[in-house]
Amino acid sequence: MILNEILIAGFGGQGIMLMGKLLAYGAIYKGLEVTFYPSYGPEMRGGTANCTVVISDQRIGSPVRNEFAYLMAMNQASVDKFSERIKPGGVIVCNATLVESPPERRDVKIVKIPANQIAMEMENPQVANMVAMGGLIHELKIISYESLTKGLVRVLPQYRHNLIPLNEQAIQKGFEALEKKLNLEGYDEQSKGTNCDQPGTV
């Protein structure tokens, strides 16, 4: 049985909700069940933004979760606020450009991806979220690059469809960065693959 709870967090303007919706479409195109739950309420007007995506091959119960298998942390505040909510054996993907002190947990896998830096190298700082998505699906494994990018046409407004190739490229870059372990200075081999269960299996 597949069951993945993913929390994507950052600050407003980083495209957090877009990331969540894109991931949800990625799941739809994989033929999986999915729910997306946005941060809601007064938080919407504050600095932080987060959303929960639950992906499963079975009917999904609660769309709201307290514990997660994955955290995609787009800034330091997200790491500080949510690291403790990741289940042992889970994965925290940090946007290394904006996360100076990664979480100190030993029972989760910590992955760093310099999303903003890679986006800057692409001369398109606004696609940092898509670079991060590439990194996230690299870790998630159940969502392929193909199914994820298929969703771009669904989540981007019509007038942004000309940017789909750029977004695809950014996702690709993010994926490759982790695949080749490029730019991953400080990557902690020890924190990888502890004795905990693999995330995504229940």
Which chain residues interact with other proteins by CB under 8 A? Answer: 21, 24-25, 28, 33-38, 40-41, 59-64, 66, 154-155
Nearer to other proteins, 11 or 37 (CB): 37
If the CB atoms of residues 12 and 38 are measured against other proteins, the closer one turns out to be 38
36 or 145: CB nearest other proteins: 36
Smallest separation, CB 154 to other proteins (Å): 7
Residue placing its CB nearer to other proteins in the complex, 25 or 145? 25
The minimum distance between CB 8 and other proteins, in angstroms, equals 13
Reduced 3-state DSSP string for the chain: CEEEEEEEEEECCCCHHHHHHHHHHHHHHCCCEEEEEECCCHHHHCCEEEEEEEEECCCCCCCCCCCEEEEEECCHHHHHHHHHHEEEEEEEEEECCCCCCCCCCCCCEEEEECHHHHHHHCCCHHHHHHHHHHHHHHHHCCCCHHHHHHCHHHHCCHHHHHHHHHHHHHHHHHHHHHHCCCCCCCCCHHHCCCCCCCCCEC
Least distance in Å: CB of 59 to other proteins?
7
Least CB distance to other proteins at residue 28 (A) = 5
